[in-house]
Amino acid sequence: MKLPFQPLNRFATSAATSLALVLALATAATPASAETARRVGGMFRYWEAETGSDLRDYIVYWAQNRFHVQYEYWDYVAPESHDHARPEIGIHLRDFRRSVYTAQWRHEYRRNRYMIGTDQVVGDHWVARAEISPIVWSDSTEVVTLVGADYYWGSYNYASATVIRDPRGGDFWSFPLRVRLATESDNWVQATLAPATHRSLGWALDLKYRRARAGIERNSRYDFTTDDNVIVTLGYELFWVK
């Protein structure tokens, strides 16, 4: 299942962070049994940046068919950095075709981020995606936009292509490409390549086996900064169908 919210991996809303959780927990193009699926889990991510602004990222989440909640805490290694919490909640509604309509809110440091998006079933194997995500500061607002498409085969295998425009940092564009190979028992391996403007390139490899999750990412740019970084992820997740 894929869920159009943002945390555990971030290629969908930034230049080069993966999309594993963002697109990993719920989708419109899943078997009927997934309509009652539940997921609960926790993740630890360590971000190592070339500037020394390393980050310990703690995440817990719960998701089901119509909504998800998540709590994330950014704990910087450098004492002068601003540690902060990132609570998030999203609502996901389906129509008779099992297309999904999502509204989401997340609080970030000194700003709030909203998202309205949809995953539209457009064929037996195809899902088209679109998203608009205003980032609201006290004195300004900037809007990140996203369009993409997913192709499914088997029960859980898919390939996706996405185009993201981020107005921050000189009008930044990224183009994540992703393939996931999965089994019926919810084990999977996923590879992501994310070329972007300003000669940036990111990649990620993620996997889930039984209840364990792991991943590694290498980014030559994150959002509107120019910092090189490596991100290592470890996690534990429960999945069941009522």
Q: For the segment 97-110, what is each residue's pLDDT rounded down to a tens digit?
A: 999 999 999 999 99
Whether 22 is in a domain gets the answer: no
Contact criterion met (CB below 8 Å) for 129 and 146: yes
Whether 58 is in a domain gets the answer: yes
Task: Give me the CATH number covering residue 154.
Answer: 2.40.160.40
- In this predicted structure, the answer to whether residue 157 has a pLDDT above a threshold of 70 is yes
Sign of CA dihedral 63, 229, 74, 44: positive
Q: Give per-residue pLDDT as tens, 2-25.
A: 433 333 334 333 433 333 343 333
Nearest to 100 by CA among 189, 23, 175, 159: 23
Whether 27 is in a domain gets the answer: no
Q: What is the tally of structural domains in the chain?
A: 1
Select the more confidently predicted residue: 43 or 78: 43
Count of beta carbons in the 10 Å neighbourhood of residue 228: 16
Look up residue 198 and give its DSSP letter. T
Whether 165 is in a domain gets the answer: yes
Whole-model pTM: value is 0.83
| Domain range for 99 | 32-241
Whether 17 is in a domain gets the answer: no
Whether 161 is in a domain gets the answer: yes
CA 177/CA 160 separation, integer angstroms: 6
Whether 10 is in a domain gets the answer: no
Whether 19 is in a domain gets the answer: no
